[in-house]
Chains A and B, each alone.
Chain A
Amino acid sequence: MDPLLQHLERFSEVLAVSRTTHVSSWDPATVRRAFQWARYLRHVHRRFSHNVHIRTVLERRLQNQWKLEGDSGPASVPGLTNFRALGCCDLLLSQRLLENPALGDAAFHSLVQELFPGPGVPDAEKETLQGSLALLARRRSAVHLLLFNGYGENLVCQEDTLIKTQAELLLERLHEVGRAEAEGPSRLLSSLWERLPQSNFLKVIAAALLLPSSPRPPKDELELGSSRTPGEGGQELIHWLLGKSDIVATFCRSLPAGLLTSVASHYPELFQIYLGLLTDWGRRLHYDLQKGVWVGAESQDVPWEELYGRFQSLCQAPSPLKGEVLTALESCKAQDGDFEVRGLSIWTDLLLALGSGA
């Protein structure tokens, strides 16, 4: 086992270096050797994909390594993060080297010879790598073609697809990190929250919470932990979200009403928080007698139209939600004095509007 782990570590180092300017010292022999190691690891992946013990040991090692790299700063990009990555480690290496301008001419020449030996190669391994790279290039062109010609004016649908893909990737990573250590997912999520543009991240979180089950079904091989229950990744995510009151508030404030209704109808705790926020927001509005409308005191207050839209969306959700929303509104209305006339309590007005709208 030890030689194998050493090998793994050495290759991880190679992979880390492959993105840096250190490759300028590489000669053709170094390139060839790096790919020999990669091929060896691919062989390991094939051979042990059904051996749970060896897989577990290797995965643990990879996770630890990733954790160390993750701690070293946000700019670091991990190399091998899970057992499956071993199956395409040569692809990973080739991508990094191809994109690295520091690689010298002779080394680059031998890299391209290594990756694209041409037609009718006797070496099956090289043929596979050449095929995978060509397939990747083809898929990239396909994505490009679809993005620019497939969606026409329908950019929303295009965005949905991008968000959904990111959501799947997020869940997968959360799952892996969760296996390595208990507080892993929450640590990862917090660091992502600090690093990434919030609006995109919030949308991804919402989409991930709505994904029905394991994003990547186990392929031919026996996936460790493939027995995850539907929504398990979602549970880790919601747990983190509910623990961060400021993030939850931003989440509920910035995402569209329909999307929040969908998420809320899947997660009762989030629904309660959302409902609480909605009532808080409502309380901040006062009635402008001259204009005859409810307005906020400050610019960041939620406008009446939006508030109404969010309540309306919740009322259109399946039964328990609608009932609870109406009960909450009724009790707020009672607290305010149970008026039936417009302009005195926002809850009366909301209930009237919802009643006539329904």
Chain B
Amino acid sequence: MPTDSFSEMTQDSGGLFSDYQFWMGKLSVWGQASTLETQQDTCRHLPLFQEFLRQMYEALKVMDSSTVIERFPTIGQLLAKTCWNPFILAYDESQKILIWCLRCLINKEPQNSGELKLNSWTRGLLSHILSAFRLNIKEVGLFTQSLGYAPVDYYPSLLKNMVLSLLSELRENHLNGFNTQRRIAPERVRALSRVCVPLVTLPDFEPLVEALLTYHGHEPQEMLWPEFFDAVNEAFLLKKISLSKSAIVRLWLRHLPSLEKAMLHLFEKLTSSERNFLRGIECLMKDSLLPEAACHPAIFRIVDEMFRYALLETDGAPEVLATIQVFTWCFVEALEKENKQLKFALKTYFPYASPSLIMVLLQYPKDIPQGLWHQPLKHISEMLREIVEDQTHRSYGGPFESWFLFVHFGGWADIAAEQLLMSEGEPPEALLWLLAFSYSPHDGSQKRAQTMVEVKSVLGRLMKLLRRPTLSAKELQTAVGESQDSDLRPPVCRQLIRCLLLNFLLWAPGGYAVAWEVITLMAQTDEVTHEIIGFLDQTLYRWDRLCMEAPTSRKLARELLTELHAKVSSTDPLNV
């Protein structure tokens, strides 16, 4: 082999060469995967090995068969070992890629005995894969042949019947003419779950996978293989199989790593798609089946724990907050659908929260007349305040725990802001407190009181302008104190006031005319722009959910959202 081409090749496929050695070693150890250890190790490596085969094919397809042999003298060995491992042949697309690789070895016009030998060897392997593992039960072959059936006619039915017979065995009522009832041994269930690892994505196996997931053995310890759970979960997340909800719930209850992976998969999907609308989040959320599965408290608590970490890790990122809110909407919906009378006490979902607070938070605002919304709000505020400020309620956790619980039902805070602008007369202390708490849970009571005073005075000024038919952007800015050059108010307080101003614009009769101007003045930074977009999206989503009739406000919010989006995408460096 010429040196230059060798160095070129090693540069191109140095990784492939070291992989080649690695897999050759593995395949030699695995053999025909007839022992427990080799089966387990094969199963663990199936996806990686398939990837290697793919790379191998990419490398082989550009060479003719003699070059292949020159560069990979032991390729025949490697592929033959692969052909004899039934787990690999059964997995996903491995058998297909393997055939492609073998195809590259066939010489169209063999010139010498070596090439002739290789051809016949390759043909042997191909025929092994395609007509492999002839049923070594003579009678069956003879019978089907006498009836004029080819394997393609009976393999599907044979497989279907095998799956059916295993299913009925799993259901412990296997009864037929030959046999009486018997119980399946745990080791067999375990072995069965191992066999299924490469096969979970084969549609014929779906019923068996379901049955294994929901199979209740009589053993205290888990009898299914962890690799089986991994394979099923992976296939479910990648939408390669469809399983019933109950099977998924069983999967996640029996195998926590799968549940964690499902959550991470959801997070990945949420972050990889560009800035999500709540509708979009809702779709991804429902699609993940997590809210429905969370009707089981054990799953809920783990999902919730992961949300808590996400919130802490991101320092309360608005996207995470929105996700938690959407999750809770969907979860409550699923809970109502699932059981009219609660199967599990609410306490099992929120073990550290005050039960009466949960009851109020869970009330669906839609079921309460709009005019009476201030009552539950007041109730929520008082209970939260008591827990947060009174030292005797330590059992319900610190302010963070109370706030974390409250943000699940974040819609109530938005309703509070809306209610403050709509109620005549003195703004209720309870609503002011709830807003201040929701925006800044860690403030001490003194600082929170300051925020409340500030918000109250801004509200007072805004209320005076509320009924005015015409408004100017300037006077609104003055009213909220935004025009001052050096705004000394803390950022959170300013954010809260922005929220009130945005609500004002949506509801005040004169808001329509000045809205865009006010928002342009307000949205000086990207951060604030995104905050405003988030507010509008969240508000529209909430109104939809609560079936609120507010045609004018709705129209305005939608228009503003469209314009802001246009503005963002025109300045986004990625879009230039």
**Complex interface: chain A residues within 8 A of B166 (CB):** 146, 150-151
Q: Is B407 an interface residue (CB 8 A)?
A: no
Give Cα A263–Cα B178 distance, bound, in whole angstroms.
Answer: 12
Query: Of B147, B192, B202, which one neighbours A150 at CB under 8 angstroms?
Result: B192
Q: Is B73 an interface residue (CB 8 A)?
A: no
B90 engages A141 (CB within 8 Å): yes
B158 engages A143 (CB within 8 Å): yes
As a 0/1 sequence over residues 242 to 267 of chain A, the CB contacts with chain B under 8 angstroms (1 = contact) are 00000000000000101101110000
Give Cα A200–Cα B191 distance, bound, in whole angstroms.
Answer: 29
Taking CB as reference atom, which chain B residue is nearest A85? Answer: B153
B127 engages A99 (CB within 8 Å): yes
A133 engages B165 (CB within 8 Å): no
B108 engages A140 (CB within 8 Å): no
B133 engages A134 (CB within 8 Å): no
Q: Is B423 an interface residue (CB 8 A)?
A: no
Q: Is A160 an interface residue (CB 8 A)?
A: yes
**Complex interface: chain A residues within 8 A of B142 (CB):** 196-197
**Complex interface: chain A residues within 8 A of B199 (CB):** 142, 145
Give Cα A146–Cα B166 distance, bound, in whole angstroms.
Answer: 10
Give Cα A105–Cα B166 distance, bound, in whole angstroms.
Answer: 43
Q: Is A152 an interface residue (CB 8 A)?
A: yes
Give Cα A192–Cα B139 distance, bound, in whole angstroms.
Answer: 12
Taking CB as reference atom, which chain B residue is nearest A69? Answer: B148
Query: Of B131, B139, B155, which one neighbours A196 at CB under 8 angstroms?
Result: B139
B90 engages A142 (CB within 8 Å): yes
Give Cα A215–Cα B61 distance, bound, in whole angstroms.
Answer: 44
**Complex interface: chain A residues within 8 A of B148 (CB):** 66, 77-78, 81, 173
Q: Is A170 an interface residue (CB 8 A)?
A: yes
Once A105-B107, A150-B166, A152-B185 are accepted as A-B contacts, the answer to whether A140 and B151 lie under 8 Å apart by CB is yes
Q: Is B86 an interface residue (CB 8 A)?
A: yes
Q: Is B371 an interface residue (CB 8 A)?
A: no
A113 engages B103 (CB within 8 Å): yes
Query: Of A85, A92, A119, A259, which one neighbours B178 at CB under 8 angstroms?
Result: A259
Give Cα A261–Cα B116 distance, bound, in whole angstroms.
Answer: 59
B133 engages A143 (CB within 8 Å): yes
Contacting residues of chain B (145-198) with chain A, CB-CB under 8 angstroms: 145-159, 161-162, 164-166, 169, 174, 176-180, 185, 187-188, 191-192, 194-195, 198
Contacting residues of chain B (75-121) with chain A, CB-CB under 8 angstroms: 86-87, 89-90, 93, 95-96, 99-100, 103, 106-110, 116, 119
A169 engages B157 (CB within 8 Å): yes
How many residues on chain A are close to B (CB under 8 Å)?
A: 76
Q: Is A164 an interface residue (CB 8 A)?
A: yes
A-B contact number at CB 8 A: 214
**Complex interface: chain B residues within 8 A of A262 (CB):** 177
B177 engages A165 (CB within 8 Å): no
A100 to chain B, nearest CB (A): 9
Q: Is B129 an interface residue (CB 8 A)?
A: yes
**Complex interface: chain A residues within 8 A of B195 (CB):** 145-146, 149-150
A157 to chain B, nearest CB (A): 6
B280 to chain A, nearest CB (A): 31
Q: Is A91 an interface residue (CB 8 A)?
A: yes
B566 to chain A, nearest CB (A): 38
B204 engages A136 (CB within 8 Å): no
Q: Is B130 an interface residue (CB 8 A)?
A: yes
Q: Is B132 an interface residue (CB 8 A)?
A: yes
Once A137-B130, A140-B151 are accepted as A-B contacts, the answer to whether A150 and B162 lie under 8 Å apart by CB is yes
Give Cα A213–Cα B148 distance, bound, in whole angstroms.
Answer: 22
Query: Of B106, B138, B143, B198, which one neighbours A108 at CB under 8 angstroms?
Result: B106
**Complex interface: chain B residues within 8 A of A145 (CB):** 86-87, 90, 195, 198-199
Contacting residues of chain A (86-122) with chain B, CB-CB under 8 angstroms: 88, 91-92, 95, 98-99, 101, 105-106, 108-109, 112-113, 116, 118-119
Q: Is A168 an interface residue (CB 8 A)?
A: yes
A301 to chain B, nearest CB (A): 25
**Complex interface: chain B residues within 8 A of A66 (CB):** 148
Give Cα A101–Cα B122 distance, bound, in whole angstroms.
Answer: 12
Give Cα A168–Cα B133 distance, bound, in whole angstroms.
Answer: 22
B133 engages A140 (CB within 8 Å): yes
Taking CB as reference atom, which chain A residue is nearest B92? Answer: A138
Give Cα A206–Cα B178 distance, bound, in whole angstroms.
Answer: 11
A138 engages B177 (CB within 8 Å): no
B136 to chain A, nearest CB (A): 9
**Complex interface: chain A residues within 8 A of B116 (CB):** 105
A118 engages B100 (CB within 8 Å): yes
Listed by A's residue number, 7 A-B pairs whose Cβ atoms lie within 8 Å are: A77-B148, A95-B131, A101-B123, A105-B109, A143-B133, A143-B135, A159-B178
In the complex, given contacts A116-B100, A165-B140, what are 10 additional A-B residue pairs having Cβ atoms less than 8 angstroms apart?
A95-B152, A109-B106, A112-B106, A118-B57, A119-B100, A133-B99, A142-B90, A144-B133, A161-B162, A200-B143
